Structure 1
């Protein structure tokens, strides 16, 4: 009996629930996958994804990072994530200043305070790791840095969750997601205007004061739409990555209790454990690019003008790149291949060091708070989101 061809539908229940078997089949059977239904291509092997992420002349970010954006006739908002060099280079250099090693370490006390604050509020016997803990605290960290007033910080998380959510089978924004995106954009635009009139010691005010090269060979300042795009992106990335990473980690460690025991006995393993969590079940599964010219891989030619899914989560489980790629091992040899959990190339995550620090601190506190625990599997709820994977709810019982 002939085995049916592999089907990759990034908008299906099957994909949302567990994409990893699909990824392995794509790597073996269709390393350059083509979806006739949605007219896109997808790359899943580590070497191919890594090369594409570094080749902006072929795989452009300028049309957006998901399929609905690329298909949109309206274009995308001004944002660093939707740019190619040279514009991307200038603007990234501005934002990088907020994430220098010194700047990231200066947030440690704030992170520890917020982590302790939210953990102190949960039921010590039963709580939801995501809803009660890993959801609320990361958005507080990044929005403080940006300059968002305290009363709006959790609202930012609501906007992000709603705008990224997708119904099974749906490519674009839900009606609620569209409303959340508009409300978020208007809020950040007004905040940029407020900071222009009343500068403060925050990221938005520094972006307002910055200058970038213009098309005429001179310099210009960023407009309020660009600044709103920056802060919206940073708020989304800073909230979603750590929220989903910590939630998924708790689930993964529950399935691999011997790895949790290793961490309990040796906290020096935490940085390596975070890298393995990013590799094994990271929060961002793909980015979509748009081909500016044709590309040929594995005997398949991708025409110019096509969306291409670059499947970073698949690449991170590619047995061609990692020994025992499907095994969760916090003491893994990390020099084997590039971990793409926070991206790769010019669009690698700006706040990766901050996210790593937040996750290490959060996991360290959880090791003390719940040295032994059980996930309440019946209450586990995965997200259905554009390119983001993880859980809305991870209820646990502390033993």
Structure 2
């Protein structure tokens, strides 16, 4: 039950970037444990399998890398939260969880609202690019402020992240431009860490510098500057990219389903449920990658130890065995049927998931007022090409009223 000659899943192809749902639909039905012989990776696409793998870190480990290219090179990944399994992952995660508590996130509501209003106040009220002029702007300000990026550099940081995420179809290894951008980001974060050593402030960088983490059974130690830098890079990049893609995906989904937009116009109390449905229907993450620690057999297919495995959460969220009419966009859906996996599951559930939900909800509330009727210029829209993130680079809309 691996693959047939007619079914080829290339996660770096233009076809996949353009229509991941179509490919995932076939994989769930024909090859729920898919093996790509040339690239030598496996892929899980059904909800039950993906959710179980997210929880089972003893079989599916996060310690080998973020993408297939990193795993193939075999280079040891940096010591940061993305590349850790419990219990070390939990200790590292605990250093920053207080920045994402319900109280801490609620305290950001006024700031998010103000930034959303400021962004919409300067766009053309008749036509604007939802991504470049709105959804990409304010999330970078929010996460940048939390981490400790100065206000006058947050958009520069966002542009670096955007450049670093950009790949061409067929590209597996990062380009020289990507590597140069990553070095720029790292160098800038090193400078920020150096400044916080000298002058601590009320931000995450200063908190990480002051923190101690248990290493091993008893020993505690402070984080190295390298660890803090990588932590800052991960949080700032993920915190801006994920929300940007989620908001644009929401606008695209509502443009194709105007009846659902009208439901929100009639009843704003449905906004939180709408955010949840957008995350399920068109999440910003194509897949996460793990490496098998030991041999495992699923659906008659044995995955050997030491193999990359793509956990396709975007596919799992459209699994008909988990969700009724999964390809239907319905903001009144019963979300107790199954957990949606848009922002991870288990130990690696996204730290900023609640913040992302709040930012997206506030954005939708204001877009309802700003453009109660709109249409997307699909001919001039452009999707992103990245190894793991799904969404739009450009999404121009015309405001009808």
Q: TM-score range by the shorter chain?
A: over 0.9
- Please say if residues 382 and 395 of structure 2, whose CA atoms lie closer than 8 Å, have aligned partners that are also in contact: yes
- C-alpha separation in 1, matches of 2:59 and 2:7: 26
**2:48 matched to 1:15?**
no
- Superposed displacement of residue 186, structure 1: 1.3
SS in structure 2 at match of 1:364: helix
Cα-to-partner distance string for 1:141-197 (whole Å, 9 max, x where unaligned): 000011110121011111211111111111121221111111101111221121011
SS in structure 2 at match of 1:296: strand
SS in structure 2 at match of 1:388: coil
The residue number in structure 2 matching 1:145 is: 146
The residue number in structure 2 matching 1:246 is: 247
- Superposed displacement of residue 216, structure 1: 6.6
What are the residue-to-residue correspondences of 1:146-225 with 2, within 5 Å?
A: 146-215=147-216, 217-225=218-226
- C-alpha separation in 2, matches of 1:228 and 1:146: 11
What are the residue-to-residue correspondences of 1:285-300 with 2, within 5 Å?
A: 285-300=286-301
The residue number in structure 2 matching 1:354 is: 355
- Superposed displacement of residue 215, structure 1: 3.3
The residue number in structure 2 matching 1:110 is: 111
- Superposed displacement of residue 74, structure 1: 2.6
- C-alpha separation in 2, matches of 1:72 and 1:201: 39
What are the residue-to-residue correspondences of 1:1-399 with 2, within 5 Å?
A: 4-215=5-216, 217-399=218-400
- Please say if residues 139 and 240 of structure 2, whose CA atoms lie closer than 8 Å, have aligned partners that are also in contact: yes
Cα-to-partner distance string for 1:43-94 (whole Å, 9 max, x where unaligned): 0000000000001111110011211121223321221011011110101111
- Superposed displacement of residue 263, structure 1: 0.4
Q: Aligned pairs, how many?
A: 397
- C-alpha separation in 1, matches of 2:89 and 2:54: 14
- Please say if residues 165 and 174 of structure 1, whose CA atoms lie closer than 8 Å, have aligned partners that are also in contact: no
With normalisation by structure 1, the TM-score equals 0.98
Instruction: Structure 2: state its 5+ residue gaps.
Output: none
- C-alpha separation in 1, matches of 2:143 and 2:280: 23
Cα-to-partner distance string for 1:350-393 (whole Å, 9 max, x where unaligned): 00010100000000000000000010111110000120000000
Instruction: Structure 1: state its 5+ residue gaps.
Output: none
- C-alpha separation in 2, matches of 1:369 and 1:209: 43
- Please say if residues 246 and 359 of structure 1, whose CA atoms lie closer than 8 Å, have aligned partners that are also in contact: yes
SS in structure 2 at match of 1:132: helix
- Please say if residues 88 and 215 of structure 2, whose CA atoms lie closer than 8 Å, have aligned partners that are also in contact: no
- Please say if residues 164 and 173 of structure 1, whose CA atoms lie closer than 8 Å, have aligned partners that are also in contact: no
Q: Give the superposed CA RMSD.
A: 1.0
- Superposed displacement of residue 4, structure 1: 4.9
- C-alpha separation in 2, matches of 1:102 and 1:367: 26
